[in-house]
Amino acid sequence: MPAVNPPTSTLQAIQTKVRRLTRSPSTSQLTDEDLQNYINTFVVYDFPEQLRTFNLRTTYTFVCNSFQDIYPTDTASFVGVTTNPLYDFQNKYLTVHPPLYIAGYQAYYTQNRESFYGIYPFITAITTIGQTGNGLSQTFTGVVASESGGAVLLANNVLFSSVDPNGNGLALQDKPITDLNTGNQTVLGNLYVPGTQPSGPITIADFDAGNNINYLTGEFTITFSAPPAAGQTINSQTVPTLVSLPQAVCYYNNQFILRPVPDQPYMINFECYKNPVFLMSTSSEPELNEYWQYIAYGAAKKIFEDRLDMDSVQLIMPEFKAQENLVLRRTLVQYANERVSTIYTQQTDPGRGYGSWGWGGPF
């Protein structure tokens, strides 16, 4: 009796299944390129939004940067530094979940700006730079005074203001400079007339010797578009903040915001759902072999929809849902091992470990 090969779950097997389901055996009916596109569209975009399976949940770690409070997750903000851990994070990962740890300590995590800034307000300090206008000079240098020793200035929150001889307002607003090697924010920023800032990130090559701010030392050079009026006060509007080990993170607008602002790099670790990896070659397999039939039915459904063959969509829907339930079964059984968390969960933990309660159990 000839040997029987085990069933395969490769892209080739998925393609064969889809061709049979859609009655498209010939490449003249459906090219291999279009077929692979349908399959990978379902894998990358449809699958993770319909099912968040247990194996797609993972931990993610990045290292924060000293004196930087906001961490973007797009691509444009990193000036082409694709090695930055957060480069395109928003497309590679779906959702972020607690618990979140900073340097091993569990941190407060929220997605609500109101509650986050209720704990860590960013209140603007308005102070004079110690110089006044004379109706002629446009450039001024100095150091932003801080009432708190060791404070740094929050980037994207610096404004210099005055009034010209005609009573018109003068203002210069900051934009931080991005490091070309790491893609992180530096301690330097340029100052621009509000509304004239570049839309994208700026680098050290864009440094403006006549309009800049050092967030760490408070040193500045400003050049207004017109001279401040004689005797007119020139003010700095900044948000000084002390730096230390961050204890809270807000994830909002696809950005991580840390408070307090880190005084040095720290390891930040949290849970998230990752996007499935698309199938690159005919020998590629989905992350779990059992997904292959679900993917085939999902891709066939998309093909029928593009053909406006809604009768065929309805014909395959029962089996599509059946495969969906089979794929979801592993996750449901896995999560069934874990009890629902309550305020008493850790108190009754037989391990009596340390955590938010400290060493030992609660008293």
Helix (H) or strand (E) holding 129: strand 125-132
What distance in Å separates the CA atoms of residue 42 and residue 286, rounded to the nearest whole number? 12
pLDDT digits (tens, 9 = 90+) for 42-85: 999 999 988 889 989 999 999 999 999 999 999 999 999 999 99
Give the pLDDT of residue 351.
45
pLDDT, position 353:
43
Question: C-alpha angle with apex 311: 308 to 313, nearest 5 degrees?
Answer: 75
Q: Is the pLDDT of residue 166 over 80?
A: yes
pTM as predicted? 0.84
Distance CA 85, CA 97 (A): 18
Cα torsion through 81, 82, 87, 88, rounded to 10: 130
Domain boundaries, the chain: 11-53+288-335, 55-118+245-274, 124-238
Task: Decide: residue 208, CB within 10 A, 0-12 exposed, 13-18 middle, 19+ buried.
Answer: middle
**b/e per residue, 226-249, with b = 16+ CB within 10 A?**
ebbbeebebebbbbbbebeebebb
* CA 213/CA 72 separation, integer angstroms: 21
- Overall size of the chain counted in residues: 363
Please provide the average confidence, as pLDDT, over all residues in the chain: 90
Q: Please provide residue 326's backbone torsions phi and psi, each rounded to the nearest 5 degrees.
A: -65, -40
Give the whole-number percent of the chain exceeding pLDDT 70: 91
Rounded to whole angstroms, the Cα distance separating 86 from 242 reads 25
Per-residue pLDDT tens digits for 86-110: 999 999 999 999 999 999 999 999 9
User: 361 pLDDT exceeds 50?
Assistant: no
Pairing of strands 248-252, 105-110: parallel
What sign does the dihedral 283-284-287-291 (CA atoms) show? negative
Split at pLDDT 50, 70, 90, the class of 8 is: confident
184 has pLDDT over 80: yes
Asked if pLDDT for residue 339 goes beyond 60, the answer is yes
Indicate if the pLDDT at residue 17 is higher than 60.
yes
Read off the pLDDT of each residue in 244-271 and give the average, rounded to a whole number. 96
Task: Say yes or no to pLDDT of 348 above 60.
Answer: no
